[in-house]
Amino acid sequence: MIDIKDVTKTYHGTGQPVTAVRNARFSLSSGEFASIVGHSGSGKSTLISMIGGILRPDSGTVTVDGENIWTYPDDRLANLRNSRFAFVYQFASLIPTLTIEENVLLPTIFGGTAVLADAERLLEMVGLKDKIKRYPSELSGGEQQRVAIARAFINDPAIVLADEPTGDLDEETEADIIRFFERFNSDKRTTIIMVTHNSDLAARASRRFRMKAGIIEERS
Ligand SMILES: Nc1ncnc2c1ncn2[C@@H]1O[C@H](COP(=O)(O)OP(=O)(O)O)[C@@H](O)[C@H]1O
Ligand SMILES: [Mg+2]
């Protein structure tokens, strides 16, 4: 359901041009859990952004459900990002003036059919049922990231793109967070692509990739 073919991106900054991603090519079936590891600067975030419809590749195709998303007009691409994709980043970026459950419901203002009960159910899945009326500042970093995961799943996305979602957490919390991703992956058959620095966690994914200087390859 995701087919990446010859995706390339070069940044033209002030100095030498940098080819951040070179001829990336792989396919994932629906419901697969893919991990991507690689040193800082190897192109992981650039690749994730191009798959997620955020950053336009210089060349190549990103095909989701049979269509190259980069042929879509902007409004259709925006709609796809909100309805079919979800993103989790290193920092949860919750809205401080909204409660936890309001934060989880936030993506539904741009579309989707989820209601408060869905937000509560997702928060229960990440073990935060007793904190739904709290504000982000009352939660630990790990708890805030669990809210971000619940929020990512509110519109029942087909693909979740997670860019170092545990990068700011201690090891134990990191393992918890990964367990939640694994649970959503198996319960909802959501395709997940996760960039992580933790090789033990990466090894648990069903598909394992490594990026090195812009080149992605699958590991056995
Ligand atoms: N907006 C940008 N402009 C210029 N160069 C960039 C930009 N974003 C990333 N790069 C460069 O592209 C390369 C890959 O970056 P990135 O995709 O962020 O890697 P990673 O996520 O693996 O750390 C790096 O050399 C980085 O400096
Ligand atoms: Mg990165």
Residue 220 has pLDDT above 90, yes or no: no
Q: Domains of the chain (ranges plus CATH)? A: 2-219 (3.40.50.300)
Ligand number nearest to the C-alpha of 44: 1
Residue 218 has pLDDT above 90, yes or no: yes
Whose alpha carbon is nearest atom 26 of ligand 1?
41
What six digits make up the tokens of 218? 């699958």
pLDDT of 46: 98
Residue 34 has pLDDT above 90, yes or no: yes
Residue 75 has pLDDT above 90, yes or no: yes
pLDDT of 51: 98
pLDDT of 113: 87
Residue 57 has pLDDT above 90, yes or no: yes
Average pLDDT, the chain: 94
Q: Which atom of ligand 1 is nearest to the CA of 48?
A: 17
For ligand 1, residues with CB inside 6 Å are 11, 13, 18, 20, 38, 40-46
pLDDT of 182: 93
CA distance 52 to 180: 21
Q: What is the mean pLDDT of residues 167-187?
A: 89
Task: Provide CB contacts within 8 A for 145, sequence distance 6+.
Answer: 88, 92, 165, 166, 168, 169, 173, 177
Residue 58 has pLDDT above 90, yes or no: yes
110-154 tens-digit pLDDT = 888 889 999 999 999 999 999 999 999 999 999 999 999 999 999
CA distance 219 to 171: 24
pLDDT of 119: 96
Q: What is the mean pLDDT of residues 173-195?
A: 92
Residue 163 Cα to ligand 2 midpoint, Å, equals: 7
| Confidence category of residue 170, pLDDT binned at 50, 70, 90 | confident
Q: What is the mean pLDDT of residues 190-210?
A: 93
82-119 tens-digit pLDDT = 889 999 999 999 999 999 999 999 999 888 888 999 99
Entry pTM = 0.94
Pocket test for ligand 1, best of 12, 18, 48, 90 (most atoms within 8 A of CB): 18
Q: Which atom of ligand 1 is nearest to the CA of 47?
A: 17
Residue 64 has pLDDT above 90, yes or no: yes
Phi and psi at residue 124, to the nearest 5°: -65, -40
Residue 203: exposure state from Cβ atoms within 10 A (0-12, 13-18, ≥19): exposed
User: First-to-last CA distance in the chain?
Assistant: 21
pLDDT of 200: 86
| Secondary structure letter of residue 91 according to DSSP | S
34: left (phi over 0), alpha (psi -120 to 50) or beta: beta
Strand blocks (E) in 12-58: 18-28, 33-37
Residue 41 Cα to ligand 1 midpoint, Å, equals: 5
Residue 199 Cα to ligand 1 midpoint, Å, equals: 21
189: left (phi over 0), alpha (psi -120 to 50) or beta: left
The more confidently predicted of residues 220 and 114 is 114
